């Protein structure tokens, strides 16, 4: 269980750092655009698109942190319908089910990137469309990992 807690803390620290960095860049871009438009009647042509993509990245990283705290969307009615004695088994099972859904969504996101996007299309500053879209499979994979860690820690009595 100690190894699982260490993995949980390490991934959470990494996600938190990337989340804060992404959010800071997004704010700087938005504020910079406002200032440039007001002061110089111009702006950076790529900044609005970059900020829109960063919103998606921030959303996925925030969803990971919500999963860690148990504040994600989940099937909570099942644990309320069943006897309280079953909760130590039902809640981890629900986490595993939610992780399985996230794995399928991550696979679908990967397929969309591989099949549905032009691998040569560039969004801005040389960043390819496929790189910007990687957050979908990465984000769902991170949530699946977090949900599986929660389930394992709950089964071990650590949560």
Beta strands 127-128 and 122-124, pairing class: antiparallel
Residue 26 has pLDDT above 60, yes or no: yes
Tell me what pLDDT residue 88 has.
Answer: 80
- d(CA 133, CA 106) in angstroms, rounded, equals 11
> What integer is the mean pLDDT of 39-63?
94
Residue 46 has pLDDT above 70, yes or no: yes
> What integer is the mean pLDDT of 7-33?
96
Tell me what pLDDT residue 74 has.
Answer: 64
Give 124-142 pLDDT, tens digit per residue. 999 999 999 999 999 999 9
State if pTM tops 0.95.
Answer: no
Residue 67 exposed, middle or buried by CB count within 10 Å (0-12, 13-18, 19+): buried
């Amino acid at each position: 269980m100690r190894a699982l807690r260490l993995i949980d803390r390490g991934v959470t620290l990494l996600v938190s750092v990337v989340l804060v960095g992404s959010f800071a860049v997004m704010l700087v871009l938005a504020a910079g655009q406002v200032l440039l438009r007001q002061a110089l009647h111009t702006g950076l042509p790529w900044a609005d698109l970059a900020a829109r993509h960063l919103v998606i990245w921030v959303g996925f990283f925030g969803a990971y942190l919500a999963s860690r705290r148990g504040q994600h969307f989940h099937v909570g009615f099942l644990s309320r319908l069943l006897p309280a004695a079953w909760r130590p088994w039902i809640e981890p099972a629900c986490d595993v089910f939610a992780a399985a859904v996230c794995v399928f969504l991550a696979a679908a996101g990967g397929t969309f990137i591989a099949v549905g996007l032009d691998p040569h299309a560039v969004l801005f500053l040389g960043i390819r469309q496929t790189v910007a879209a990687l957050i979908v499979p990465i984000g769902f994979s991170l949530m699946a990992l977090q949900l599986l860690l929660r389930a394992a820690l709950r089964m071990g009595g650590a949560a």
